[in-house]
Amino acid sequence: MNTNSTRTVLVTGATGTIGRHLVDQLLAGGHRVRALTRSPEKANLPEQVELVAGDLTAAPAEGLFEGVDSVFVFPVEEVAGFVKAAASAGVPHLVLLSSLAAALEHERDRGSASQVHHSAIEDTVRDSGATWTILRPGTFAGNLLPWAQPIRYTGGVSGPYPTSAQAPIHEADIAAVAAVALTEPGHAGRHYPMTGPQALTRVEQLHAIGTAIGRELRFTETTPDEFRTEMRSYGVGDDIVSMLLNYWSDTVDTPDVVRPTVREVTGRPARTLAEWAVDHAAAFTG
């Protein structure tokens, strides 16, 4: 393990929305980044990044963990072998991307698709023998990207529970908390629940996007059964649909609780949904 302030960080999921922000933030902090990717030739990451061909579900490449001070673990279902290999190789610290559902704060989370998936991976990381930090973001602002097509072509969206209120978190803020946990002391054994800075109704979320792109957008309410039928036509499983409907129905009368974690860990306020909408305006304008 390095004794100076510069760390070597292995990032899995480096080409994803959170991973790309994390890579950029680590490099900006003067750290060395090694990225595990299936297709290094297509990764399109900064040239300073050391690219290693590989897959979280396969045996780690020789030397993958050599000199690594910490690993950002992307939560694919088959990650247990990778986690055990990292710990056996002496990697000191693992930072896992999990979900707030794994905290079991609400009855709706118990047995949900997200809770079952992430709780199992959390257990694997906690039992690995390495020190760990677990990040538990709530709903991602990026979950609004499926609204892009109806916004572009119809000027609005449809769905149930328009007055339910969530606190979507910008993917760059998840990366910012991860970067601190990966490179600074004091975060071992911590679970970090994370949200954006505001609980906004689904109508208000749509308005934030409309403001960013300069359009007046409309939200058309549909019934839960209509939503379920629509999602089935897209091949979305009933377990996912039920999880969403339970979440939205619960947050009509009890909005998401806003967590101060981003500010507490990074020293800067969490980005608003309005900022996220500006950052992603191109997705909604085509």
Q: Residue-wise pLDDT tens for the chain (286 aa)?
A: 344 589 999 999 999 999 999 999 999 999 999 999 999 999 999 999 999 999 998 899 999 999 999 999 999 999 999 999 999 999 999 999 999 999 999 999 999 999 999 999 999 999 999 999 999 999 999 999 999 999 999 999 999 999 999 999 999 999 999 999 999 999 999 999 999 999 999 999 999 999 999 999 999 999 999 999 999 999 999 999 999 999 999 999 999 999 999 999 999 999 999 999 999 999 999 8
d(CA 167, CA 128): 32
Identify which of 70, 25, 69 has the alpha carbon closest to the alpha carbon of residue 49: 25
For 115, the token pair is 């809770």
165-166 vs 200-201, strand pairing mode: antiparallel
Q: Could you tell me which residues come within 8 angstroms of residue 99 by beta carbon, excluding any fewer than 6 positions away?
A: 75, 114, 115, 117, 118, 136, 137, 138
- pLDDT at res. 286: 84
Nearest alpha-carbon partner for 133 in 85, 86, 92, 81: 92
Task: Tell me how far apart the alpha carbons of residues 10 and 30 are, in angstroms, rounded to a whole number.
Answer: 14
Which pLDDT value is given to residue 1? 39
8-138+170-194+259-267: CATH class: alpha beta
pLDDT at site 225: 97
User: Angle, nearest 10°, between helix axes 224-233 and 238-253?
Assistant: 150
Strand partners, 51: 35
Partners of 11 in beta bridges: 35, 72
pLDDT recorded at residue 5: 84
* pLDDT for position 11: 98
pTM reported for the whole predicted model = 0.96
Residues shown for the chain: 286
Q: Give 158's contacts (C-beta < 8 A, 6+ positions apart).
A: 150, 219, 220, 221, 222
Amino acid 62 reads E
Which two structure tokens, joined as six digits, stand for 153? 């072509």
| Vertex 60 angle, CA 56 and 62, to 5° | 155
**Do residues 174 and 75 make contact, with C-beta atoms less than 8 angstroms apart?**
no
